[in-house]
Structure 1
Amino acid sequence: MSFVVAIDGPAAAGKGTISRAVAERFGLAHLDTGLLYRAVGAKVLAGGDPVDVARALDPVDLENDDLRTPAVAQAASEVAVIPQVRRALVDFQRAFACRAGGAVLDGRDIGTVICPDADAKLFITASPECRAARRHKELMDRGMDHTFENVLADVRARDARDSDRATAPLIPASDAVQIDTSDLTIDAAVAQAVAVVAAARQQKG
């Protein structure tokens, strides 16, 4: 049975952790679609043209160890507002979603654009301050020296850019179940998501 789970949300809300846990729990393939844009962003930083890079993107490009740096994250957010880049990556994502056995895709426009007919849709969010604190800790743990204020400013800037773009803005799908992780433990957030997906699977039969 093909079963597609669409999980959207802003940066550092916890959608990646939740998506991986849901995929493992139900035996589904997982795609962090943000890596597609990060891979394009990384190649643009190296001098590539964003549209050309997006059209030629290869799955192996998603394995680059440098895709989690702040500079690449910034570049990813910037290339993501380019309509031609988004169009070039849509086919990649939809093909992944259609694979036998089902899949979990997480990103910013999965439930609204990439897989509007997904069997289960979640929108994972948290306050900007909470998300900035998580991202700041992550960067500090990696030995990167960034102030909390700068990380918070970056989070807010990315939120505005993602939400205000003309093509596929970051908004919850009308039928998505929203989970605010601001005051939830990882286990509690995962449990809520798993319950939503389990109910959708049962309904589908």
Structure 2
Amino acid sequence: MKKITIAIDGFSSCGKSTMAKDLAKEIGYIYVDTGAMYRSVTLYALRHNLFNADGSIREEELKTQMKNIDISFQLNKTTGRPDTFLNGENVEKDIRSMEVSSHVSPIAALPFVRTALVAQQQRMGAGKGIVMDGRDIGTVVFPDAELKIFVTASAEVRAQRRYDELKAKGMEANFNDILKNVEERDYIDSHRATSPLRKAPDAIELDNSNLTIAQQQQWLYEQYRKVAE
């Protein structure tokens, strides 16, 4: 098997991270959750009062403080998956909150944030043997990736998955609020000026609205084998 770069893009809450994490674990690749990186910047901004009362971002202050934001991933021996660390603190649970979810798309739309994180992502994947998921992996971060997947599902299905995920973690959740957030993020992610969410011309599309996790994993593994063998 040759080492390749696997880029998985798609809408929020469509199971990209679960698919990517499980595939990376199965084939022994490095996994990078780029969405977690943008969520970490968002969490930093929330904690440092870089949002105004109207929800707008204090862009110049955030731009100045980007050098203070260190994002890394460490393997969780219990789950077998990587946890996200912000300046040395495990923030895996914190970055999944609805507060972060409702603020992340405007942060991710900032060109200076994307430039900084894309450069970091490209360094992470320079040696191949990597699975990376996000919004612009196959179009911007790794346009030459050997395998590109674009994942989609209906907004209602994605909202239900997000609701179930939060409840399973013991976190407060309201389905209608989550559905509204999913739809708002879809619009922002698809219409931002810098690196908008779009399917790469050579990406394989997967609508997983009616697929189980096991079915998704089998499908993804088959796509990997077709390219890597």
Q: TM-score range by the shorter chain?
A: over 0.9
Instruction: Give the aligned partner of residue 81 of structure 1.
Output: 109
Q: Deviations over 1:141-188 (max 9, x none)?
A: 233333211111110000000001011111111111111110000000
Instruction: Give the aligned partner of residue 35 of structure 1.
Output: 36
- Count of paired positions: 201
Structure 2 distance, partners of 1:132, 1:76, is 16
Structure 2 distance, partners of 1:54, 1:162, is 21
Could you tell me how far 1:2 is from its partner in structure 2? 4.0
Distance 1:145 1:64, change over 3 A: closer
Any idea what SS the aligned residue of 1:199 has?
helix
Whether the 8 Å CA contact 1:54–1:89 is kept in 2: the answer is: no
Instruction: Give the aligned partner of residue 51 of structure 1.
Output: 63
Structure 1 distance, partners of 2:180, 2:153, is 15
Runs of 4+ in 1 over 3 A off after TM superposition: 52-56
Structure 2 distance, partners of 1:68, 1:33, is 13
Within a 5 Å distance, the mapping from 1:186-205 to structure 2 comes to 186-202=213-229
Within a 5 Å distance, the mapping from 1:88-99 to structure 2 comes to 88-99=116-127
Which structure carries more strand by proportion?
A: 2
Within a 5 Å distance, the mapping from 1:106-125 to structure 2 comes to 106-125=133-152
Higher alpha-carbon deviation: 145-154 or 186-195: 145-154
Whether the 8 Å CA contact 1:112–1:173 is kept in 2: the answer is: yes
Could you tell me how far 1:140 is from its partner in structure 2? 2.0
Whether the 8 Å CA contact 1:55–1:89 is kept in 2: the answer is: no
Taking only aligned residues, the RMSD between alpha carbons, in angstroms, comes to: 1.6
Residue type at the aligned position of 2:46: L
Any idea what SS the aligned residue of 1:105 has?
strand
What is the TM-score with the length of structure 2 in the denominator?
Answer: 0.83
Instruction: Give the aligned partner of residue 67 of structure 1.
Output: 95
Within a 5 Å distance, the mapping from 1:149-160 to structure 2 comes to 149-160=176-187
What is the TM-score with the length of structure 1 in the denominator?
Answer: 0.92
Which structure carries more helix by proportion?
A: 1
Residue type at the aligned position of 1:175: D
Structure 2 distance, partners of 1:74, 1:128, is 15
Share of identical aligned residues, percent? 38
Within a 5 Å distance, the mapping from 1:129-140 to structure 2 comes to 129-140=156-167
Residue type at the aligned position of 2:161: R
Distance 1:10 1:131, change over 3 A: same
Distance 1:104 1:53, change over 3 A: farther
Could you tell me how far 1:50 is from its partner in structure 2? 2.9
Q: Unpaired segments of 5 or more residues in structure 1?
A: none
Q: Unpaired segments of 5 or more residues in structure 2?
A: 51-60, 73-84
Structure 2 distance, partners of 1:50, 1:119, is 35
